C-alpha cells in the first residue's frame, strides 16, 4: 500500500521556508471564475447558516448541463469522498475490487477502509490496460472496477468509443467508477449518462473550475444508486460556500474554456522543453505532463534538487511510471521559472 500524499504545506514546514513554485498537486494555476469568487463572498457573509443539505440548486444545474435528471446527480465534498462512499455502499470485507497499480491511490485507501481485497493490473505502454482490467474483474468477480480517464499520473486518455466498448465487456455485477476529474482537458467529455446502471461517472470542481480548496464534486449515476448513497453520506458535508462557488462557476463556461486553452498552451511548452532537454514527455490529456527521466533514482534525485530550489513536484509511486516526474501546468511566468531551474539541473547532470 502506498503512503498518503505529502502535502506542499508539510514540505514547506520541513524546509523551513516557502515553496516558490507549487507545481505538484494538479491544482488550477488560473484560479476560480470571478463570478464564483463573488458568489462565495456573498455566501460567506451568511456563514452562520447551514447550506442546503440536498444541494438542490447545484444538482439541478449539473443535471441541465449533463442532459440528465436531478435524480442522477449526487454532490459530495470531492471525488475522494465519493470513492469512500461507493466502497462503503458496494464492498463487504473480503470482496475484490480492481484498479491499476499506480493509478490515483485514493481509491486504494477507500477500498482498504472498506475491507476490500484490492487486485491490480499494471500499465501497458504507459497507459491503463483496459483488456487486463476486464479480465481481472471477470476472474475475481470484482464488486468495483476503478478507472481514471484521463488517468492520473500517466496523463493518458481512452477514447469515448473505447470506454463504451470497455463498459460492454465488464461483468454485469461489477460497478465501474469512471473518474473523470480531468475530463475538461481531454479531447472528449466521455460517455453520456444514458450508460448502463453499473457505470458511475465522477467529476470535480477542483481542476478546470479552480475550486480545489472548496472540496466539491459530484457523481452521475443511476437514481437507485444515488438514492442509496443519500442514506449514508454526510448531509452537511458540502458547505454552503462551496455550493455557491460551484453553481456560479457552472454559469461561467467562458472562464473554464479560457483555463483549458491556457493549460493546453502551457502543456505544449512543457512538452517542448522536455524534448529539447533530451527527455520524453508522455502524451497527456490533463493539466499536467509526466516526463520520462529514465529511472526511478533519477526522478527522485530531480525532485530533491527541485525542492531545494523551492519547486514542489511529485512523481508516480509505482513502476513503470516511477521513472517520471509529473509537472502541473502553471502560469506562463511560473513555467518559465521552472524551465530555467529544470534546464540548469539537467545540464548539471542530475
- The pLDDT score that the predictor gives to residue 195 is 72
Within this chain, do residues 169 and 74 fall inside the same structural domain, yes or no?
yes
For residue 198, the model assigns a pLDDT of 94
Report if residue 55 sits inside a domain. Answer: yes
pLDDT in tens, 305-325: 999 999 999 999 999 999 999
Q: In whole angstroms, what is the distance from residue 230 CA to residue 234 CA? A: 8
19 in a domain, yes or no?
yes
Assess if residue 3 is contained within a domain. no
The CATH number given to whatever domain includes residue 17 is: 3.90.1150.10
**Burial of residue 4, with CB atoms counted within 10 A of its CB: 0-12 exposed, 13-18 middle, 19 or more buried:** exposed
Residues 276, 290: one domain? yes
- pLDDT, tens only, 264-293: 999 999 999 999 999 999 999 999 999 999
Residue 207 lies in a domain: yes
Q: pLDDT tens-digit profile of 13-58?
A: 988 888 999 999 999 999 999 999 999 999 999 999 999 999 999 9
Q: Which of 226, 251, 276 is the last residue of a domain?
A: 251
Is 263 found in the same domain as 133? no
Whether residue 1 lies inside any domain: the answer is no
| 78/221 same-domain check | yes
C-alpha cell at 7: 502535502
Instruction: List the one residue out of 171, 201, 181, 193 whose CA is nearest residue 86.
Output: 201
- Say if 152 falls within a structural domain: yes
* Predicted local distance difference test score (pLDDT) of residue 193: 41
Q: Give the residue-averaged pLDDT of 124-149.
A: 98
Spatial CA neighbour of 189 closest among 67, 345, 325: 67
pLDDT (0 to 100) of residue 183: 95
pLDDT tens per residue, range 205-222: 999 999 999 999 999 999
**Domain final residue pick, 198, 233, 251:** 251
Look up the domain containing 179 and give its range: 34-251
Residue 331 has pLDDT above 90, yes or no: yes
Give helix then strand counts, H and E, for the chain. 12, 12
My answer on whether 77 and 139 are in the same domain is: yes
25 & 50 share domain: no
Q: 256 or 195: which carries more pLDDT confidence?
A: 256
- Looking at the structure, tell me whether residues 151 and 112 fall in a common domain: yes
Strands 199-204 and 217-220: antiparallel
User: How many domains would you assign to the chain?
Assistant: 2
**103 shares a domain with 19:** no
Q: Which of 233, 251, 269 is the last residue of a domain?
A: 251
What pLDDT shows up at residue 4? 64
Q: Is the pLDDT of residue 190 over 80?
A: no
Residue corresponding to grid cell 517542448: 272
pLDDT at res. 6: 84
How many angstroms separate the Cα of 64 from the Cα of each of 191, 244, 247, 249?
16, 17, 12, 14
Average pLDDT, the chain: 95
Residues 76-126 have pLDDT tens digits of 999 999 999 999 999 999 999 999 999 999 999 999 999 999 999 999 999
The answer to whether the CB of 330 falls within 8 A of the CB of 29 is: yes
What does the pLDDT read at residue 1?
Answer: 45
Amino acid at each position: 500500500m502506498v503512503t498518503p500524499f505529502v502535502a506542499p504545506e508539510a514540505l514547506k514546514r520541513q524546509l523551513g521556508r516557502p515553496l516558490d513554485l507549487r507545481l505538484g498537486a494538479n491544482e488550477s494555476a488560473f484560479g476560480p471564475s470571478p463570478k464564483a469568487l463573488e458568489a462565495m463572498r456573498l455566501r460567506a457573509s451568511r456563514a452562520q447558516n447551514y447550506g442546503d443539505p440536498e444541494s438542490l440548486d447545484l444538482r439541478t444545474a449539473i443535471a441541465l448541463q449533463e442532459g440528465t435528471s436531478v435524480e442522477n446527480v449526487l454532490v459530495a465534498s470531492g471525488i475522494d469522498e465519493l470513492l469512500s462512499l461507493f466502497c462503503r455502499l458496494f464492498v463487504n470485507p473480503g470482496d475484490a475490487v480492481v484498479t491499476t497499480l499506480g493509478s490515483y491511490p485514493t481509491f486504494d485507501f477507500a477500498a482498504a477502509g472498506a475491507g476490500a481485497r484490492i487486485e491490480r493490473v499494471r500499465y501497458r505502454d504507459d497507459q491503463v490496460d483496459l483488456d487486463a482490467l476486464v479480465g481481472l474483474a471477470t476472474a475475481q468477480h470484482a464488486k468495483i472496477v476503478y478507472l481514471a480517464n484521463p488517468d492520473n499520473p500517466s496523463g493518458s486518455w481512452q477514447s469515448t468509443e473505447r470506454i463504451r466498448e470497455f463498459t460492454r465487456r465488464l461483468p454485469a455485477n461489477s460497478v465501474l467508477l469512471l473518474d473523470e476529474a480531468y475530463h475538461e482537458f481531454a479531447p472528449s467529455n466521455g460517455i453520456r449518462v444514458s450508460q448502463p446502471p453499473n457505470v458511475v461517472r465522477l467529476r470535480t470542481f477542483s481542476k478546470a473550475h479552480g475550486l480545489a480548496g472548496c472540496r466539491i464534486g459530484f457523481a452521475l449515476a443511476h437514481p437507485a444508486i444515488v438514492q442509496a448513497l443519500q442514506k449514508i453520506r454526510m448531509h452537511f458535508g458540502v458547505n454552503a460556500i462551496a455550493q455557491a462557488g460551484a453553481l456560479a462557476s457552472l454559469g461561467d463556461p467562458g472562464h473554464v474554456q479560457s483555463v483549458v486553452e491556457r493549460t493546453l498552451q502551457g502543456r505544449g511548452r512543457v512538452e517542448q522543453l522536455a524534448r529539447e532537454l533530451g527527455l520524453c514527455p508522455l502524451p497527456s490529456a490533463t493539466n499536467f505532463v509526466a516526463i520520462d527521466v529514465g529511472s526511478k533514482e533519477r526522478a527522485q534525485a530531480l525532485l530533491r534538487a527541485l525542492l531545494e530550489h523551492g519547486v514542489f513536484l511529485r512523481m508516480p509511486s509505482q513502476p513503470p511510471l516511477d521513472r517520471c516526474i509529473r509537472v502541473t501546468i502553471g502560469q506562463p511566468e511560473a513555467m518559465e521559472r521552472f524551465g530555467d531551474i529544470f534546464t540548469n539541473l539537467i545540464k548539471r547532470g542530475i
